[in-house]
């Protein structure tokens, strides 16, 4: 196993961290039914092979991930790792809520302290909640009590919000961001990675494979990978691209099979900064460009179209359809879309066209809204609707 810097701490994390969000289950319809014997073998195999960073959160596996880890890390395994979990910001209305939940987490994890504690999923409203309730002072109090060792946050918003949060408190030890070779300009992005590291924060990476979307690429993307000077799987390329960057402290993988654990541990063992050649990095740039060329709606998420007259999140709706096409994940996109309320779905568009005058890309937004809902909400044929709007044939 390779080990890396963790911000200013005098401790080195394993390049690979174990994310306990996608553990194997005995019932595909019930995430709370963790396959405990298998999951325990997976966790302990990873630790026995050098993994020393375990990440979970209050809601993972419907609240059972923390309980499972409390049992899996017995027999001396808790002492071999640093454990991270998160405060569920959506469940916090008072400081008393934070106290209650932290104590519950300590009990579930069967530990007297949490090494790395995160405010979960920060966006601007949750950052404002932290400030309004003075939860940073609360965190300092529980640190002084020894319940948590180091404070950080996980993040899903824009770079400007990310920078505001980092600059808003001197006590951060680390942050956790969604980052992969497709997300270099999304959310915190590469700019956020470098900014956090410049401030002395460790940066933990989540979604290195974009929720598995980068594992089985469409034919056009696979053709680019096939031109590589060495044979590697798409997931190996994605992980090595991250580990090639000195600002990355830990890459989390939500592993759900023993094969995933064995493969990822092996790749982590020969990872490192500067391991990829210029030719290999250029290849990954070409892969990114090939994915982007599959994107049917040329939305850059500049948000000039907002606010929408009826408060639709236009860039997000376009992103759902774009991901369905780019990563061949139509059913996943439909499930995501159908979880939105009727007021949030594209059918709520009133065709006022005010957004179109503001769009720098001259996207016919009102027309696309009809197609977005037809494909994602009504189950109509994706290829036909993309073709009708002038898009290229899919996966040719």
The model's pTM is 0.84
Answer yes or no: do 131 and 251 share one domain: yes
Answer yes or no: do 267 and 343 share one domain: no
User: Is residue 132 a part of any domain in this protein?
Assistant: yes
Confidence (pLDDT) at 120: 94
With tokens 């899996």, the residue in question is 72
Answer yes or no: do 365 and 277 share one domain: no
Tell me if 328 sits within 8 A of 295, measured CB to CB.
no
User: Is residue 94 a part of any domain in this protein?
Assistant: yes
Confidence (pLDDT) at 394: 43
Tell me if 110 sits within 8 A of 141, measured CB to CB.
no
User: Is residue 165 a part of any domain in this protein?
Assistant: yes
Strands (E), the chain: 16-19, 53-55, 82-87, 114-122, 148-155, 174-178, 202-206, 250-253
Task: Return the number of other C-beta atoms located less than 10 Å from residue 107's C-beta.
Answer: 12
Answer yes or no: do 131 and 261 share one domain: yes
Answer yes or no: do 123 and 183 share one domain: yes
Answer yes or no: do 79 and 214 share one domain: yes
Confidence (pLDDT) at 395: 36
Q: Which domain holds residue 132?
A: 16-285
Domains held by the chain: number = 2
Answer yes or no: do 134 and 20 share one domain: yes
Answer yes or no: do 352 and 260 share one domain: no
User: Is residue 237 a part of any domain in this protein?
Assistant: yes
- Regions of the chain where pLDDT drops below 50: 392-396
Tell me if 109 sits within 8 A of 70, measured CB to CB.
yes
Answer yes or no: do 98 and 242 share one domain: yes
User: Is residue 140 a part of any domain in this protein?
Assistant: yes
DSSP string, 253-274: E---SHHHHHHHHHHHHT--TT
Confidence (pLDDT) at 216: 86
Answer yes or no: do 143 and 248 share one domain: yes
Residue where a domain stops, chosen among 285, 302, 333 = 285
Q: How far apart are CA 3 and CA 110, in angstroms?
A: 27
Answer yes or no: do 204 and 352 share one domain: no
User: Is residue 296 a part of any domain in this protein?
Assistant: no
Answer yes or no: do 281 and 322 share one domain: no
User: Is residue 326 a part of any domain in this protein?
Assistant: yes
Under DSSP, the state recorded for 34 is: B
């Amino acid at each position: 196993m390779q080990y890396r810097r963790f911000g200013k701490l005098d401790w080195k994390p394993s390049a690979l961290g174990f994310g306990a969000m996608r553990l194997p289950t005995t019932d595909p319809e019930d995430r709370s039914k963790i396959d405990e014997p298998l999951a325990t073998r997976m966790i302990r195999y990873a630790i026995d092979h050098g993994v020393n960073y375990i990440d979970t959160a209050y809601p993972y596996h419907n609240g059972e991930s923390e309980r499972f880890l409390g049992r899996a890390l017995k027999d001396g395994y808790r002492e071999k790792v640093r454990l991270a979990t998160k405060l569920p910001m959506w469940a916090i209305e008072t400081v008393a809520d934070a106290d209650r939940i932290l104590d519950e987490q300590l009990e579930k994890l069967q530990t007297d302290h949490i090494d790395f504690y995160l405010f979960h999923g920060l966006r601007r409203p949750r950052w404002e909640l932290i400030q309004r309730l003075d939860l940073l002072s609360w965190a300092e109090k529980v640190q002084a009590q020894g319940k948590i060792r180091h404070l950080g946050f996980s993040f899903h918003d824009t770079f400007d919000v990310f920078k505001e949060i980092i600059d808003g408190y001197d006590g951060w030890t680390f942050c956790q961001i969604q980052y992969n070779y497709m997300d270099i300009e999304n959310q915190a992005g590469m700019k956020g990675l470098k900014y956090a590291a410049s401030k002395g924060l460790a940066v933990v990476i989540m979604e290195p494979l974009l929720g598995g979307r980068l594992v089985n690429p469409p034919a056009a993307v696979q053709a680019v990978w096939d031109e590589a000077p060495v044979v590697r799987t798409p997931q190996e390329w994605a992980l090595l691209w991250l580990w090639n960057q000195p600002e990355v402290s830990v890459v989390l993988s939500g592993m759900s099979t023993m094969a995933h654990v064995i493969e990822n541990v092996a790749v982590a063992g020969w990872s490192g900064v500067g391991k990829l050649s210029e030719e290999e990095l250029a290849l990954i740039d070409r892969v990114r460009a090939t994915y982007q060329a599959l994107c049917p709606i040329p939305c850059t998420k500049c948000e000039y179209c907002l606010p929408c007259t009826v408060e639709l999140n236009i860039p997000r709706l376009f992103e759902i359809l774009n991901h369905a096409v780019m990563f061949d994940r139509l059913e996943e996109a439909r499930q995501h879309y159908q979880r939105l309320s009727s007021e949030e779905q594209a059918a709520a568009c009133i065709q006022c066209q005010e957004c179109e005058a503001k769009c720098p890309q001259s996207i016919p937004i009102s027309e696309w809204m009809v197609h977005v809902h037809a494909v994602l909400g009504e189950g109509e044929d994706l290829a036909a609707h993309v073709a009708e709007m002038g898009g290229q044939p899919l996966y040719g």
